[in-house]
Structure 1
Amino acid sequence: MREALIVWGGWSGHEPEQCASTIAGMLEEEGFKVYVENSTEAFADPGLSDMSLVVPIYTMSKIEKEELSNLTAAIRGGVGLAGYHGGMCDAFRESVEYQFMCGGQWVAHPGNIIDYRVNVTRPDDPVMEGIRDFDYHSEQYYMHVDPSNEILATTTFSGEHAYWTKDVVMPVVWKRRYGEGRVFYSSLGHVAKEFDVPEMRTILRRGMLWAAR
């Protein structure tokens, strides 16, 4: 049986505990044995390297050197990493190695909660199969993104809330490699109710399955 570790915490506005429970249920439906922890100390566990998947849900906060070293070594060794929104790519802002592993970092969401459109750029990819462009109501993440990412979906900024961003095409969903590990990310999912959006939930579920070894 594949095993997954979910580690939640940090800023409460992203409802990490509720989201961790939802994701645990998704993974259990897929046959995973799921462990849920709420401290970054879990990243220092030597047993991390035996996991199939790690899902961080930990906006902002800090990660200790030993915790980060063990986590990055596990992913480089083949453990999968998957996450969404600020729970993965606005975590541990001071840790550049963590950002290097994830492939991107949140920097802004002009206009806060707004309506925007998600454009599927790789409809041939199994993660995006059957999903067409769709409208979304949430934070539209403006990110600093690694050019080596394989982009599966994007969004285009209107410039209404930050005029200098007009027509900027920004990745929303990507996958990448970090050593032997597979890394998946989706910027969708500000709060727990967004898991009710079929496209958001399906993309994340498939992405986690792709990442897990």
Structure 2
Amino acid sequence: MHIDALAIGGNEFEFHEFATIGPVLADVFDGVAELNRTTDRDAVLELDAYDVLVDYTTKADWTDEQLAAIRSFVTGGGGYVGIHCAADVDSFVDDPCDDLASLIGGRFVTHPEMTDLEVEIVDQNHPVTADVETVRTYDEPYQLDWNEDRVDVLAEFTHESMGTMPAAWVRSEGDGRVFYCSLGHDTDAFDPDDVRTLLRHGLSWAARER
């Protein structure tokens, strides 16, 4: 199995600096995918060279051309893996055309303080979660706005201020596959083995290797 992935992020936000998180992602996906890491958003204009786009951008100011390239890549059969802050977009879930939240299937709304989370797997039969147990981690719990009719939730957690929120889901877009996981606020959040397994399986599934 050989998967080529473009991993893109930014350095504008302290805890989401790609200079720090990028090497962690390379370690998480080691043996699963070869990551080409960049902060140059124009790199998405050359997605034909890759199997998967790994998105760790925060409030990315995507141009219409870049968004069109991402959507074309996914609808044409490519994979999209959104991690944590990728859903922090100034757009709406049900917008048509080139809206990123629509592609992901949801968007970030807000979050309380970081806390211990117990993430329950709600679909043990999906290839992404088949080998994953309950995920226990210390992370930033995301409140999300998502379209229940357009995503298949695989894992969720319950927080006293937000109720039950999805932590990971999958969906299809054209001939492509989308995997989103809300975990991954900082380097320590990627330490638990089950978090790593969930992400690795999600990428492999998005690339149609699982």
Decide which moves more: 179-188 or 132-141.
132-141
Whole-Å separation in 2 of the counterparts to 1:27 and 1:116 = 23
- Where does residue 151 of structure 1 map in the other structure? 153
Alignment of 1:25-44 (within 5 A): 25-30=27-32, 32-44=33-45
Mapped contact 2:8–2:57 kept (Cα < 8 A): yes
**Residue-pair matches, total:** 200
**Secondary structure of the equivalent of 1:107?**
strand
Q: Deviations over 1:2-26 (max 9, x none)?
A: 3211111142322322222222244
Q: Deviations over 1:48-106 (max 9, x none)?
A: 134210001111130111111111111111110012111x211x424751110011111
Structure with the largest fraction of helix: 1
After TM superposition, the runs of 4+ consecutive aligned structure 1 residues lying more than 3 A away are 25-28
RMSD: 1.8
Mapped contact 1:184–1:208 kept (Cα < 8 A): yes
**Secondary structure of the equivalent of 1:125?**
coil
Mapped contact 1:44–1:68 kept (Cα < 8 A): no
Letter in 2 for 1:3: D
Whole-Å separation in 2 of the counterparts to 1:192 and 1:15 = 10
Whole-Å separation in 1 of the counterparts to 2:15 and 2:34 = 27
Mapped contact 1:83–1:208 kept (Cα < 8 A): no
Larger radius of gyration: 1
Q: Deviations over 1:13-48 (max 9, x none)?
A: 223222222222444412x44322111111223xx1
Whole-Å separation in 2 of the counterparts to 1:133 and 1:94 = 31
TM-score by length of 2: 0.87
Letter in 2 for 1:60: K
TM-score by length of 1: 0.86
Mapped contact 2:120–2:157 kept (Cα < 8 A): yes
When residues 28 and 139 of structure 1 are mapped into structure 2, their CA distance, relative to the original with a 3 A threshold, is closer
Q: Which runs of 5+ in 1 are unaligned?
A: 160-164
Percent identity, please.
Answer: 28
Alignment of 1:12-161 (within 5 A): 12-30=14-32, 32-45=33-46, 48-86=47-85, 88-90=86-88, 92-94=89-91, 97-110=99-112, 112-147=113-148, 148-159=150-161
Q: Which runs of 5+ in 2 are unaligned?
A: none
Letter in 2 for 1:89: A
- Where does residue 162 of structure 1 map in the other structure? none
- Where does residue 8 of structure 2 map in the other structure? 7
Whole-Å separation in 1 of the counterparts to 2:27 and 2:64 = 31
User: Aligned to 1:211, which of 187, 206, 210?
Assistant: 206
Mapped contact 2:5–2:52 kept (Cα < 8 A): yes
